[in-house]
Amino acid sequence: MDVLDPATGKPITTVCLGGKAEIDAAVSAARDALPAWSAMAPDARTQCLLKFAGLIESQADDIKQLSILDGGLPDMIGDSTAWFSALFLRYYAGWPSKLTGQTLPSSPNGLAPSDVLAYTLREPIGVVGAITPWNYPYGMEILKIAPVLAAGCTLVLKPAEETPVASLYLAELALQAGIPAGVFNVVNGLGEDAGATLAAHPGVDKISFTGSTEVGRHIVHASAGNLKKVSLELGGKSPVFVFPDAKLEQTIPGVALAGFMMSGQNCVCGSRLYVHESIADEVASGIAEFMKSISVGPGSDPANMIGPLISERQRDRVEAMIGRARDNGAEAITGGHTLPGEGWFVEPTLFRNCSSDMEISQQEVFGPVIAMQTFDDSQDYEALAALANDSQYGLSGSVWTQNLETAMRMTRLIDSGQVGVNTHAAMDPSMPFGGNKQSGWGREFGEAAMELYTKTKAVTLAWT
């Protein structure tokens, strides 16, 4: 299969497509490697992950260039990719020695507590199948690799077919770091072939999927055969509220980048903007003016902050949604067009006069599009939260205000896995991340991710 540069539409390399036979081989290798890897001394696994992190940092420039070529990322995002990946690996490198159980006061079967020792063990869940998206390939893959390996599990990774290069490079570096063959396996292939086989495979104990809600449903159905555990990080339609006391010099660029960064191709994209009517004109014109300072173009040019969409198909989908929004009465304050020439570029687009029932307000665009609505003083916190929660999704959101009561009430009422105040989509290895409703099952990042890849065993020792 050709791998295309989304900035030009031209091939940069080819990769072999794996199918059932390759998935079977990878699962078998992971199963064979599991006993030794899970039994390895915690410090030995820690050292492997630390060396892996160091190798990634040493190859930062190559990783940056591959991120730009393979995924269409802008220079500033590509520049941070190796740092982000190493940061998460180092965080999880500390976990192998901290997977502890508990001793419990217990008196089963009428035994006296003094005659019983009851405790729990945390054990690796087994062979993990991970399926990752194309929007941030190195980062999204490391978010699976790091906790899976730290927990003592082995991994079969099926990356997105649009961005297969990252996983191959990471696998090479993992071997150089001393991670044994069979512990981390990569099979490139199509979702309906390799991905579906992995999700249904009886030799896989757990599936970890990041991608669209629609595909997530297919993953759940496919996993039912052996009732494997499943965690899902899916779509989002994140609400962003701007109150009249917000510091607009920070808020305007903040909400613009929340909606447009990575060309809107991220699940936490702040694509639903709610602004108090007293400042709505100022915010809309401010976003339009701010975007004049933001260049759109290939990530190979450091001046460009907004890159291409991943494919012609995605570009056409976003263009069609923009057209339907106009037809339904939304007004484009800025952007609203595809860019001519090679590659798949769409102008960052801010729509006003939107309503909650519009497609542009309900469906995930996965493109640089913000749908703006206004609110007024007649709407209390519960009414505003009803606007925020009028969505099938519940992944992220943000509140921009200097009022502590407003911030605290809104963060409690917004139904999502993550809410920021005067910031959007704040990411840190220690903070749990995941969605409510149809945005997914489970939490990644932090200790929560270790819970995804471990299982608890209860042990009771009795003597009389």
Domain count within the chain = 2
Instruction: For residue 242, give the 3-state DSSP assignment.
Output: strand
| Residue 157 and residue 9 share a domain | yes
Angle at 214 between CA 213 and CA 217, to 5 degrees: 85
Residue 444 belongs to a domain with what CATH number? Answer: 3.40.605.10
pLDDT in tens, 392-402: 999 999 999 99
- For the segment 20-25, the average pLDDT, to the nearest whole number, is 98
| Residue 413 and residue 455 share a domain | no
pLDDT reading at 123 higher than 80: yes
Domain membership of residue 168 (yes or no) is yes
Residue 246 belongs to a domain with what CATH number? Answer: 3.40.309.10
pLDDT in tens, 251-296: 999 999 999 999 999 999 999 999 999 999 999 999 999 999 999 9
Domain membership of residue 303 (yes or no) is yes
Positions marked active-site: 233, 267
- For the segment 421-445, the average pLDDT, to the nearest whole number, is 96
| Residue 18 and residue 139 share a domain | yes
Taking the model in full, what pTM does it have?
0.95
Domain membership of residue 261 (yes or no) is yes
Q: What is the pLDDT of residue 380?
A: 97
Q: What range defines the domain where residue 266 resides?
A: 239-421
Q: What is the pLDDT of residue 110?
A: 86
pLDDT in tens, 322-343: 999 999 999 999 999 999 999 9
| Residue 408 and residue 451 share a domain | no
| Residue 262 and residue 329 share a domain | yes
| Residue 86 and residue 126 share a domain | yes
Q: What is the pLDDT of residue 463?
A: 87
pLDDT reading at 464 higher than 80: no
| Residue 194 and residue 85 share a domain | yes
pLDDT in tens, 145-174: 999 999 999 999 999 999 999 999 999 999
| Residue 131 and residue 27 share a domain | yes
| Residue 295 and residue 350 share a domain | yes
Q: How confident is the prediction for the chain on average, in pLDDT?
A: 96
Structure tokens at 301: 């040019």
| Residue 227 and residue 86 share a domain | yes
Q: What is the pLDDT of residue 134?
A: 95
| Residue 280 and residue 206 share a domain | no
